[in-house]
């Protein structure tokens, strides 16, 4: 099974994808995590990606597509994958269809998350992430704060704030998303495999609620 997480930055794609990974027992693939790992390690890919990400722009299609194609060839995702952060353009979506077709697979479900812009900005600016790459638990200082300030409840590692989690960069990322990525909604609506879910504190609906609904839908229980 191949699932795609769509939605603007800060809608909770990573949180929902992580929950689905546990419930469905298929791997989450986050392009953002791949880029950040390479940036931290100072690789050639990391240097290129940093130039774009630091300005709130998307990494070029050819680079991102190659990364995903290589990742989908690895043994741990042969039974399925949850793509978090890919595709982000029509070209990427078309290339993904080609890659999957060559393996006799297809996109089974697209989960499109929506959240009000101002809530997205508040959520990202207050986001903190576990520095332990084996954990990567996500917190929010307002909605889901850690029990001890700056420390992960799960593994005890230091919590960090991403350098690009600032209001200025978030607004630029939202602008980029709506200009370049939102056309994907029409692309997948035409394919008839998209499910749109609202994630917002205004209606008391969080990522865990969305994940439960998605699992039930995929299992034919709803």
In the set 23, 162, 171, 201, the catalytic residue is 162
The residue behind tokens 């990573």 is 14
Concerning whether 205 is annotated as a catalytic residue, the answer is: no
Dist CA 30 CA 21 (whole Å): 12
Is residue 13 annotated as a catalytic residue, yes or no?
Answer: yes
**Which residue out of 36, 109, 123, 173 is catalytically annotated?**
173
Q: How far is CA 58 from CA 30, 101, 149, in A?
A: 14, 25, 32
Tokens of 178: 């709506």
Q: Which of 13, 128, 136, 137 is catalytic?
A: 13
Residue 36 is among the residues annotated as catalytic for this protein:
no
* Catalytic position from the list 50, 88, 109, 137: 88
Q: What angle in degrees, to the nearest 10, is found between the helix axes of 61-72 and 31-41? A: 100
Catalytic residue among 109, 127, 136, 137, which? 127
Which residues are known to be catalytic? 13, 88, 127, 162, 173
């Amino acid at each position: 099974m191949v699932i795609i997480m769509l939605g603007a930055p800060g809608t909770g794609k990573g949180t929902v994808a992580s929950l689905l990974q546990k419930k469905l027992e298929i791997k989450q693939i986050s392009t953002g995590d791949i880029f950040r790992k390479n940036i931290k390690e100072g690789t050639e890919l990391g240097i290129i990606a940093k130039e774009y990400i630091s300005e709130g722009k998307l990494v070029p299609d050819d680079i991102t597509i190659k990364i995903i194609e290589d990742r989908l060839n690895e043994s741990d995702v042969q039974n399925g994958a949850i793509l978090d952060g890919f595709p982000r353009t029509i070209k990427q979506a078309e290339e993904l269809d080609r890659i999957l077709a060559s393996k006799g697979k297809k996109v089974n479900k697209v989960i499109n998350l929506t959240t009000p812009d101002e809530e997205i900005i508040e959520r990202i600016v207050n986001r903190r992430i576990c520095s332990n790459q084996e954990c990567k638990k996500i917190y929010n200082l307002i909605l889901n704060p850690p029990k001890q300030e700056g420390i992960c409840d799960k593994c005890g590692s230091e919590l960090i704030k991403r350098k690009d989690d600032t209001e200025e960069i978030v607004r630029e990322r939202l602008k980029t998303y709506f200009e370049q990525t939102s056309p994907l909604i029409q692309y997948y609506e035409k394919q008839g495999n998209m499910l749109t879910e609202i994630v917002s504190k205004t209606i008391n609906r969080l990522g865990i609620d969305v994940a439960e609904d998605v699992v039930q839908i995929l299992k034919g229980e709803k």
